[in-house]
Structure 1
């Protein structure tokens, strides 16, 4: 059995070896080319030489590439075996990819959109897909394996360092492919036990965005009125909608029964002008969570706060790709402590000090090229299509990051 940390090391060694050999070959060929260019140029050798053969050269360029190839093959095979040799004591977690999110089912039946694992415990992932081919990709653990409908593949890793690590889809799977993101959270055993037992969920009132995120609904449906792959879910209570039933159009009113049926059996009534690509959630969502989800959508329990809408907007629009929410610098100023902060900006070639208030956030969102924060590149695209209400929600969220 391979040591738990060896799989990543062996993969890294295979890549380093291949890149090193490629670099040596590149330098060798380049040096030889330049050498022959000067040594055997036309001025020195006006008459080309006729080389009939060289046994030593023939042997060398047969034996040396063979040794190189076999060496790379052995190292690659060794790393492959390490990646496929799962320790017997590994925790097994089921992974399902669907357009456009990941679902993780834990040994006790708990379901979550993100992967939580205890530190220093090997983890085996049983991977499949509910619709099309996806590719489960965790760069930190050198995992990249296809999720195929009707087939279960597997991968394993040993989380030997606490932290959060990116999960991506490495196979183009449709229009929201770029949003098929998640995280591996490596935590201590006590925190993992609390997560598995559900104590984390009991400590807070669940919100609509949290439930939608948990079951991947927010990958296709927005809460701000924006049309994504599916109809928006804001103000759905009592909404009149044209649906297709058995090839015929029918107007319905979005009530509790319709919303439940649309979640459990989405293929029965397809909203006009949208594709029938939503998977059925019958048996996927516990009844208590389904009822909570419907109640929240009908505003029976709580209204969606502007802060929640703003957070969802920022995530949907990809703002956190450049702006962090924890104070760290990525490619632009962090949203944390941004509101009412003093900023040095460049406007019309001159430097000014401004206060990041509501007006500043509004202008910076719609017309970011007008005032460039000093020290940062003007790479932000304009978001002039956002409504005033949407920018107000974004501002409320930024205010909350104090």
Structure 2
């Protein structure tokens, strides 16, 4: 049996063991009785059938005794169920959302997480919702299992008396990647929990570098996929050679480093990449040395950080059905989606041919059933509760994965 860490769940284990004990007892009693009757009333010992008259006492015994047993078992199960369903006053609340095929936990201060983190010895109320199909929130170590039905808000509660990490599963088959709906319940000390839930996330250097490039409009001209339309690509900048034109007009092959990137930002006309005109505005002191250092480090490492839309897509579970490498999954890949020609059927069955522009992507996010692309089923949940800014971030992320010749 799974180790049990929830005080209220002790009654569940007790009820299970009592019911199991009675079931084994009844099985043994009936089996022994059957064997005895087969031996005792075998035709070799009773060649002549015996007429057995009824017995009021026996009738009363085998009516009253099973009734008492069933009532006792019911009471055992009911008391444990009541303890599991009686949520203590003042319990900390965490909103739990199940979706194909991941979990999202939201705390009172707005913090979200893919894992459920709770303080030890603290009752926690779970507000359970599902965005798409039926899921079932199951924590074996807590003996907590509760179905999540679309359109129905339910709740459960738990409390751990032991610090540690414990499994969370979906116990209801919910589609192709049902087995991927696995996450962790992390039980930590109260101080550690307070620090975690109130901490402001510091962006990693890669994310900060990407954010600075977006903030200063670098991607309006430069790309991150080796396509070159308005300016040289920035992808893998630190691992390739560039032919540049020096101020005296001579050519030289260089390997971009931090000093080159700093000069290209502050004095872009000083050294030009061969084949490109002096069109980039000089940023001078608009960027600090620290900001330039972060941007340069990001670019020289290969530019693998995620923009805000990519982070949001991962947080919302989009990558559970979509990919960013061109591989079609339950849903179409984001790579090359923007700007491509899409064919499918509208909600009323009419065929359509549309270009995947901002409006198309926006509708696919907030009302995916309106236009279902060919080859896919209408099973994506509507994200019509997202803030407009979040939708724009997702569109921007998908746009960043477009094939340049499709734009």
**TM over 0.5, yes or no?**
yes
* Offset, 1:50: 1.7
Residue matched to 1:82: 83
The CA distance in 2 between the partners of 1:203 and 1:163, in whole Å, is: 27
Q: Does 1:192 align with 2:193?
A: yes
User: TM (normalized to structure 2)?
Assistant: 0.64
By how many angstroms is 1:265 displaced? 3.7
User: Is 2:342 the partner of 1:241?
Assistant: yes
Confirm or deny: 8 A CA contact 1:113 1:213 kept in the other structure. Answer: no
SS in 2 for 1:117: strand
C-alpha contact (below 8 Å) 1:243/1:270 kept by paired residues: yes
- CA shift, 1:276, in A, is 2.8
Q: Which residue of 2 aligns with 1:181?
A: 182
Which whole-Å deviations, capped at 9, do the CAs of 1:204-225 have from their partners, x for residues lacking one?
Answer: 7374775434212122223444
- The DSSP-based 3-state class of the residue aligned with 1:81 is helix
Contact 2:164–2:188 (8 Å) recurs in 1: yes
Say if 1:196 and 1:261 are closer, same or farther in 2 by CA, change over 3 A.
Answer: farther
Are 2:319 and 1:215 aligned? Answer: no
Deviation at 1:181, TM superposition (A): 3.0
Indicate whether 1:16 and 2:17 are aligned. Answer: yes
Residue by residue over 1:239-280, the C-alpha shift from the partner in whole angstroms, topping out at 9 and shown as x without a partner, is: 443244575544444455544443234344332232232222
1:277 match: 379
Quick one: distance in 1 between partners of 2:13 and 2:20?
Answer: 11
* Aligned alpha-carbon RMSD (Å): 3.0
Work out the CA distance in 2 between the residues paired with 1:252 and 1:173. Answer: 31
Cα distance per residue 1:28-54 (max 9 Å; x no partner): 111122222222222122222221122
| Deviation sequence 1:42-77 (CA, Å, 0-9, x none) | 212222222112233222212221221111111111
Larger Rg: 2
Structure 1: 5+ residue stretches without partners: 301-402
**Aligned equivalents of 1:292, 1:194: Cα separation in 2:** 29
User: Is the contact between residue 129 and residue 147 of structure 1 (CA under 8 Å) also seen in structure 2?
Assistant: yes
Q: Which residue of 1 aligns with 2:328?
A: 227
Once residues 68 and 88 of structure 2 are traced to their aligned partners in structure 1, the CA distance between those partners, rounded to angstroms, is 32
Report matched runs for 1:130-145 at 5 Å.
130-145=131-146
Retained in 2: the 8 A contact 1:209–1:218? no
Q: Could you list the runs of 5+ residues in structure 2 that have no partner in the other structure?
A: 208-304, 402-407
Note if 1:70 corresponds to 2:109: no
Structure number with the bigger relative contact order (C-alpha 8 A, sep ≥ 6) is 2
**Conserved? CA contact 1:91–1:122, under 8 Å:** yes
Question: Following the alignment from structure 2 to structure 1, what is the Cα–Cα distance between the partners of residues 194 and 204?
Answer: 15
The number of residue pairs the alignment matches comes to 297
- Change over 3 Å in CA distance of 1:195–1:297 after alignment to 2: farther
